[in-house]
Amino acid sequence: MNPDPLLQTLPVPNAATVLSRPQVIIGAAAGLLLALALALNARMTVLILNVAFILFYLVFCQYKLVLQFLSLRRECQVFDPDAVPAGGWPRYTVLVPLYREETAVPGLLAHLRRMDYPADRLQILLLVEADDPLTREAVARAGVTPPFDVVVVPVSQPRTKPKACNVGLSRAVGDILVIFDAEDRPEPDQLKKAASLFARSPENVICLQASLNYYNRDRNGLTRFFAIEYSGWFDYCLPGLHRLDAPIPLGGTSNHFRTAALRTIRGWDPYNVTEDCDLGIRLYRNGLRTGVLDSTTWEEATFRIRPWIRQRSRWVKGYLQTYLVHLREHGELRRRLGLGNLIHFHLLFGAGCFCLLMNPFYWVLTGVWFATGAHAIRDFFPLWVLAPALLSFLAGNAAFVLSAMLGCLRRRYYHLLPQCLLMPAYWVLMSIGAWKGALQLITNPFFWEKTPHDGTTIWEVGP
């Protein structure tokens, strides 16, 4: 039987296997030890776990806030649009993966045609799936001419965006490459900004991440929550990680790469449904670095609950995939990242998912306690545990709210500041999505939860 050609070019390590054999053995052993401890002394075991979780929460809830404060002193990037880099503007390839995006095509192409970059140095590849005739017809109706080109992605498993991007990477002729999604509206000068920053950056900086935000942020309460979250993450947390020279989990779009270096690390992992954050870790493991680009790409926020949960479940599933993949080589990871960055890795991927999965249990415990005053629950919260638990609750929610407010202030979204006070309620949706993603990692690990886009929103009202 001939091996799958896709497997021959996979990055190493990769997510083609959900759990390695050693991980299965370690997980089973941990489960047996926990069962044994519960059998011997259930009360003490649960009490110890409860204390550990509370302290864990207390540390994690302050983590992103610390990153944001670190980013307050970052240097402002200076860009002169008339200053051509030595040797002229580099060749640029734009990859646009499209799947069931027929309504978004007209606005996408119209915006990309307005990008401020020399057309003779530009290659825009529209990556259209072979079994998606509606999107192909929409592209044909729009009239594709150079620098646009249509690349038909063959039907094969897995059906993921990173697989399509790898097909595009094989066709790219640019010195620099960037990914945009169908609903993206990057600032017109973003390519020039990235090319200029690459020209004055060290050679080991092979990726630049632009900020992401939403042009339809005021559509409803959900889009406002989403805009608040993104403002804090991309405008503060990522610059904070960059200042610490820590690994940066990339966003799914507006990643600008030195193409040759991207090829040397075999592009994206097609089995990872958050191929972006995995790639950020792999870059760092290979001695390469990611910079932060002072430019914004405006996206369309998901404005309905069910699609939002599907999108979030994919993100959490991908973060868990990334965490499990790189844990397989923990010793190597420790050597290449260093102890400090290894802690960042565990906090960003392990702790973030763990807290979202544990939240519902504590919410239920709290509700039952207040409703019934159950003594069984009180036994696990004696005064010496209740005090740090209350501190974790208050400090954690205060940090979450303050983090949201800082992001809004930077973006001057002053009208969203009152909604920041309701951000703890946003955790409910995030935990629902997290559980859906964690369960799907077991039942359907490589399934790509497609996010539908309205395609009719007028983007100009947003920025």
At residue 459 the predicted structure's pLDDT band, cuts being 50, 70 and 90, is: very low
DSSP-derived pairing of the beta strands 148-153 and 176-179: unpaired
> What is the pLDDT at residue 390?
83
Looking at residues 3-30, what average pLDDT do you find?
Answer: 83
What's the CA gap between 74 and 93, in Å, rounded? Answer: 29
The Cα 351–Cα 359 span in angstroms is: 12
Of 42-51, 64-73, 435-444, the least confident: 64-73
pLDDT of residue 4: 46
- Write the CA distances from 377 to 39, 393, 458, integer angstroms: 18, 17, 52
Counted domains in the chain: 1
Does 31 map to a domain? no
Question: Domain of 180: which CATH number?
Answer: 3.90.550.10
- For residue 306, CA distances in Å to 199, 247, 303 come to 43, 31, 9
**Which of left, alpha, beta for 338 (phi over 0: left; psi -120 to 50: alpha)?**
left
Cβ atoms of 365 and 376 within 8 Å: the answer is: no
Q: Would 146 be classed as within a structural domain?
A: yes
| The pLDDT of residue 460 | 40
Residue of 227, 196, 224 lying closest to 296 (CA atoms): 227
Q: What is the pLDDT of residues 161-220, one digit of tens each?
A: 999 999 999 999 999 999 999 999 999 999 999 999 999 999 999 999 999 999 999 999
CB atoms within 10 A of CB 361: 11
Read off the pLDDT of residues 382-432 as tens digits, 9 standing for 90 and up.
778 888 888 888 888 888 898 899 999 999 999 999 999 999 889 999 999
Q: Which of 71-85, 115-129, 371-385 has the highest mean pLDDT?
A: 115-129
- Residue 423 in any domain: the answer is yes
CA 360 to CA 355: how far, in whole Å?
Answer: 9
pLDDT digits (tens, 9 = 90+) for 34-63: 999 999 998 899 889 988 888 888 888 888
Assess whether the previous peptide bond of 186 is cis (omega < 30° from 0): no
Average pLDDT of 332-347?
93
The pLDDT score that the predictor gives to residue 75 is 67
Q: 8 or 194, which is more confident? A: 194
Is the pLDDT confidence value at 32 over 60? yes
What is the residue-averaged pLDDT of the chain? 89
Q: Kindly report whether the global pTM for this prediction surpasses the value 0.85.
A: yes
Distance (Å, whole) CA 138 – CA 458: 19
pLDDT at 1: 37
Quick one: pLDDT at residue 455?
52
pLDDT, position 66:
86
pLDDT at position 55 is 85
Q: Tell me what the mean pLDDT of segment 450-458 comes to.
A: 63
407: in domain: yes
d(CA 210, CA 235): 9
Identity (one letter) of the amino acid at 441? L
Is position 243 within any domain?
A: yes
Give pLDDT tens digits for 88-111. 999 999 999 999 999 999 999 999
pLDDT exceeds cutoff 90 at 444: yes
Q: Which pLDDT does position 378 carry in this prediction? A: 73
Res 461 pLDDT > 50 = no
Query: What is the pairing mode between strands 92-98 and 122-129?
Result: parallel
Residues 101, 279: Cα–Cα separation, whole Å: 25
Task: Please write the tens of the pLDDT for every residue from 127-140.
Answer: 999 999 999 999 99
Concatenating the DSSP letter of every residue in 17-31 gives SSS-HHHHHHHHHHH
Range of the domain at 70: 46-463
Please report whether residue 204 resides in a domain: yes
Give the residue carrying structure tokens 């190597």: 332
Q: Is residue 33 part of a domain?
A: no
User: Between residues 3 and 99, which one has the greater pLDDT?
Assistant: 99
Residue 370: pLDDT above 80?
no
For residue 392, the model assigns a pLDDT of: 80
What is the reported pLDDT for 8? 59
1 in a structural domain: no
CA quadruple 22, 443, 10, 94: dihedral sign: negative
Provide the 3-class DSSP secondary structure of residue 213: strand
